[in-house]
């Protein structure tokens, strides 16, 4: 049985710390949940500084959970999922959902993010991120450089062409190829996303790599930023041997960059140092830190709407710092939940 997205959202919403997602913001997501296909899970993008109020919604799809539903809409889009960005997601799903297709085997999941940066009744369109690591859900990554002809590169090109409903600009493709070929030993390309829904013609890359190799990688690619800014972003994460690196690529690397880590347990030894740094810099409040810690953990027996047997609910979070030239450093957290047994397989 497929869990109902609106019912699961209604069950989960009051359990998310209000300091991270205020109830008035949570209420804005309720109509969105009725517009969405089935979801494996969902999460929220929350800003951690005192003045930030924007919260965004992210849903996860697999071929069997949401992907097949969107694939069946090819040529018959419902009004609640109309527009060129939804058309691109449907085109991707039509090639991804069928068992035996190359994308089905190579892409375990995609994320649809909805930016709530405009007042109601604006209905946001999906910002789509594709996981290009076939064994991502088991934490086994294909690491190292991706030369011409590598299967992951083929997955990237095909995914982006489907989402954009056309080929990439040659100069963007060449810039991406340079990024792939420069991935250091121990690094891995995890996700790709066209940023077109945000009004830019660039591609978001998410890479996992040893933290000590981040600056060398950016420098090799000619990133137009300062080493001091990267080192400052890495400072709170100095006890993490590996980080996620977020890049935007057009004809070359754009100046914005993000660095993040995952948080799994409320008593993780990294948490005090990380948040002490962010609070001292004025980009996180103690109350929001406490909200993140309160979210982390697990519930051993949860009966979610639409399921017949209790499940284990894992509450995780991704923490990310974002550098944009001329703007203060920004801290974000992504509270998300995962369910065992895997009702989304």
pLDDT at 342 over 60: no
Residue 264 has φ and ψ, to the nearest 5°, of: -115, -35
Residue 97 is classified by DSSP as S
Q: What is the pLDDT of residues 84-123, one digit of tens each?
A: 999 999 999 999 999 999 999 999 999 999 988 766 556 7
Which among 83, 59, 81 has a CA at the least distance from the CA of 70?
81
Q: What is the pLDDT of residues 143-182, one digit of tens each?
A: 999 999 999 999 999 999 999 989 999 999 999 999 999 9
The pLDDT value given to residue 344: 41
Question: Is 20 inside any structural domain?
Answer: yes
Distance CA 69, CA 299 (A): 30
* Mean pLDDT estimate for the chain: 92
pLDDT classification of 340: cutoffs 50, 70, 90 = low
Q: What is the pLDDT of residues 44-77, one digit of tens each?
A: 999 999 988 899 999 999 999 999 999 999 888 8
* CA distances (Å), origin 1, targets 4, 33, 38, 65, 306: 9, 18, 11, 11, 7
Distance CA 171, CA 164 (A): 16
The pLDDT value given to residue 1: 53
The pLDDT value given to residue 343: 42
pLDDT classification of 312: cutoffs 50, 70, 90 = confident
Residue 131 has φ and ψ, to the nearest 5°, of: -80, 125
Residue with tokens 């969105």: 32
- Domain containing 135 equals 5-340
**Beta strand residue intervals within the chain, DSSP E:** 41-47, 55-61, 110-114, 127-131, 188-194, 203-210, 242-249, 253-263, 297-302, 311-323, 330-340
Question: Is 345 inside any structural domain?
Answer: no
> How many folded domains does the chain comprise?
1
Question: Is 47 inside any structural domain?
Answer: yes
């Amino acid at each position: 049985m497929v869990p109902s997205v609106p019912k699961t959202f209604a069950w989960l919403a009051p359990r998310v710390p209000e300091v991270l997602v205020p109830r008035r913001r949570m209420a804005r997501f309720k109509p969105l949940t009725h517009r969405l296909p089935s979801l494996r899970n969902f999460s929220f993008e929350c800003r951690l500084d005192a003045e930030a109020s924007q919260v965004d919604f992210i849903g996860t799809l697999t071929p069997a959970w949401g992907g097949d539903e969107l694939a069946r809409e090819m040529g018959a889009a419902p009004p609640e999922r109309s527009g060129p960005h939804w058309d691109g997601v449907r085109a991707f799903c039509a090639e991804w959902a069928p068992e035996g297709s190359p994308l089905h085997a190579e892409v375990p999941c995609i994320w649809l993010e909805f930016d709530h940066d405009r007042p109601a009744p604006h209905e946001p369109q999906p910002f789509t991120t594709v996981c290009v690591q076939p064994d991502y859900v088991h934490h086994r990554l294909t690491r190292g450089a991706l030369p011409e002809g590598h299967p992951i590169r083929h997955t990237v090109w095909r995914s982006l062409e489907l989402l954009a409903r056309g080929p990439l600009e040659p100069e963007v493709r060449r810039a991406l190829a340079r990024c792939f070929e420069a991935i250091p030993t121990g690094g891995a390309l995890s996700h790709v996303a066209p940023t077109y829904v945000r009004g830019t013609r660039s591609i978001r890359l998410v890479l996992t790599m040893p933290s000590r190799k981040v600056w060398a990688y950016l420098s090799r690619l000619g990133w137009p930023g300062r080493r001091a800014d990267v080192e400052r972003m890495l400072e709170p994460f100095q006890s993490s041997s590996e980080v996620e690196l977020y890049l935007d690529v057009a004809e070359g690397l754009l100046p914005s960059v993000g660095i993040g880590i995952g948080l799994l347990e409320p008593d993780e030894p990294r948490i005090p140092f990380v948040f002490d740094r962010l609070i001292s810099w004025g980009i996180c409040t103690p109350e929001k830190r406490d909200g993140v810690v309160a979210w982390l953990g697990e519930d051993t027996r949860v009966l979610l709407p639409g399921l017949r047997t209790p499940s284990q609910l894992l509450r995780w979070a991704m923490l990310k710092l974002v550098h944009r030239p001329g703007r203060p450093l920004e801290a974000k957290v992504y509270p998300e939940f995962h369910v065992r047994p895997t009702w989304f397989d």
